Amino acid sequence: MSDLLTITEELQPIVWQEDKLLLLDQTMLPASEEWVTVHDAVGAVEAIRSMRVRGAPAIGIAAAYAMAIAARSIEAPTMPAFLGALDAQAARISAARPTAVNLGWAVQRCQDAARTCNTPGQAAARILALAQAMREQDIEANKAIARNGAALMPDSGGVLTHCNTGALATAGYGTALGVIRAALESGKRPRVFHTETRPWLQGARLTAWELARLGIPATLLVDSAAGALMASGHVAAVVTGADRIAANGDTANKIGTYTLAALAAANGIPFYVAAPFSTVDLNVKSGQDIPVEERPAAEVTSLAGQRIAAEGVAVWNPVFDVTPAGLIAAIITEHGVLRPPYETQLNSLARQPEVTEVA
Ligand code: MRU
């Protein structure tokens, strides 16, 4: 363990406690650590849409627990009636945000699990066990990603990351931020740079908070400083997470990721994506088919409740972009480090047994 890391307690933002789903409210960080309780599917959709819980793996796991809550609340005389009602709740939860495939993946797994059961009670219990297993296995997958990716991190050069991909964005430990953490734990001393991540400030608010909590020194920059930083020679690697990886390796992630990948290519710096296999969507052939969420104009025109843009301005606010596979030096998964071309490797990994089994 590195002497730089001063972790006192592992951060786990999704907790099932006394039959309740508790989420660490990410809209309140870093000012205050507040937990919200999700009581039903409507509450889960609100929490996901308003980004109280965010990050591709985290919204998938929160959605699985939401399915367990929904299943418990359904009163249906027959199993077909129960499954019909569950499917309606599933459709509502899956539609909360469109880009991260983990959301639909987790909900579908819950629907599939319910279909193997004979009674609503059995199905509700099976879905809850599945949600718990997904949560535990996400943490294990992240640690494996981190181990696999640490070897790619520089011994002492700079590493730049974007958005928040730490414990907050997952069940625990994190993906790209986990890779950086594991590099430090292995004794490497990369200098950590991270972007602010406009407009929602996942980097400035959440990554900075997590890194400080871990005792990892880091330098924050505005998104538009990334090119100058890379040109200065201070960046040896860029690593980000992913919200959906298409069959050909094209990767959707937080808006600005494509910019970083293009700048990395222009500066001869390797650009890595770190993600669990639950983020791979072989049903979409390429990035062109990935739906990109657009969020309200107010996220751009206002900051911390204060209007910053001139009145009347038109806004375009896509919150993800797609990085072509050709710009990605490696995709770091729990199953190993994939190098381009990605299609065949992603396909053969998809034929492995499901990563998440019912506990
Ligand atoms: O809009 P967000 O904050 O949910 O976007 C999150 C990201 O883009 C992350 O990089 C991605 O989900 C990977 S998190 C391990």
Best residue for ligand 1 mutational test, from 253, 281, 300, 323 (most atoms within 8 Å of Cβ) = 253
Cβ–ligand 1 distance for 175 under 6 Å, the answer yes
- pLDDT tens figures, 224-241: 999 999 999 999 999 999
For residue 357, the model assigns a pLDDT of: 43
Write the CA distances from 31 to 7, 9, 171, 195, 260, integer angstroms: 20, 19, 21, 19, 28
Cβ–ligand 1 distance for 238 under 6 Å, the answer no
Six-digit token string for 67: 């399915």
Write the CA distances from 225 to 195, 276, 281, integer angstroms: 8, 29, 32
* Residue of the CA atom closest to atom 15 of ligand 1: 165
**CA 192 to ligand 1 centroid distance, Å:** 19
206 backbone φψ class: left, alpha, beta (φ>0; ψ -120 to 50): alpha
> Which atom, in ligand 1's list, is nearest to the CA of 177?
15
- pLDDT tens figures, 191-203: 999 999 999 999 9
Cβ–ligand 1 distance for 100 under 6 Å, the answer yes
Name the pLDDT band for 349 (thresholds 50, 70, 90). confident
**CA 243 to ligand 1 centroid distance, Å:** 6
For residue 359, the model assigns a pLDDT of: 38
Cβ–ligand 1 distance for 206 under 6 Å, the answer no
> Which atom, in ligand 1's list, is nearest to the CA of 176?
15
Of residues 276, 245, 260, the one with CA closest to residue 158: 260
Name the pLDDT band for 222 (thresholds 50, 70, 90). very high
By DSSP bridging, strand 20-24 and strand 14-17 are antiparallel
> Which atom, in ligand 1's list, is nearest to the CA of 293?
1
> Which atom, in ligand 1's list, is nearest to the CA of 254?
8
For residue 351, the model assigns a pLDDT of: 66
Name residue 203's amino acid.
G
- pLDDT tens figures, 122-143: 999 999 999 999 999 999 999 9
> Which atom, in ligand 1's list, is nearest to the CA of 162?
10
For residue 4, the model assigns a pLDDT of: 52
Which residues, in sequence order, are bridge partners of residue 274? 332
Cβ–ligand 1 distance for 54 under 6 Å, the answer yes
- pLDDT tens figures, 32-51: 999 999 999 999 999 999 99
Cβ–ligand 1 distance for 239 under 6 Å, the answer no
- pLDDT tens figures, 142-164: 999 999 999 999 999 999 999 99
**CA 250 to ligand 1 centroid distance, Å:** 16
**To the nearest whole percent, how much of the chain has pLDDT over 90?**
94
* Residue of the CA atom closest to atom 10 of ligand 1: 241
**CA 97 to ligand 1 centroid distance, Å:** 12
Cβ–ligand 1 distance for 257 under 6 Å, the answer no
Mean predicted confidence (pLDDT) in 66-77: 97
Geometric angle at alpha carbon 94, from 90 and 98, rounded to 5°: 165
Mean predicted confidence (pLDDT) in 319-340: 98
Cβ–ligand 1 distance for 55 under 6 Å, the answer yes
Catalytic residues: 243
Cβ–ligand 1 distance for 295 under 6 Å, the answer no
SS in 3 state form for the chain? CCCCCCCCCCCCCEEEECCEEEEECCCCCCCCCCEEEECCHHHHHHHHHCCCCCCHHHHHHHHHHHHHHHHHHCCCCCHHHHHHHHHHHHHHHHCCCCCCHHHHHHHHHHHHHHCCCCCHHHHHHHHHHHHHHHHHHHHHHHHHHHHHHHCCCCCCCEEEECCCCCHHHCCCCCCHHHHHHHHHHCCCCCEEEEECCCCCCHHHHHHHHHHHHHCCCEEEECHHHHHHHHHCCCCCEEEECCCEEECCCCEEEECCHHHHHHHHHHCCCCEEEECCHHHEECCCCCHHHCCCCECCCHHHHEECCEECCCCCCCCCCECEEEECHHHCCEEEECCEEECCCCHHHHHHHHCCCCCCCCC
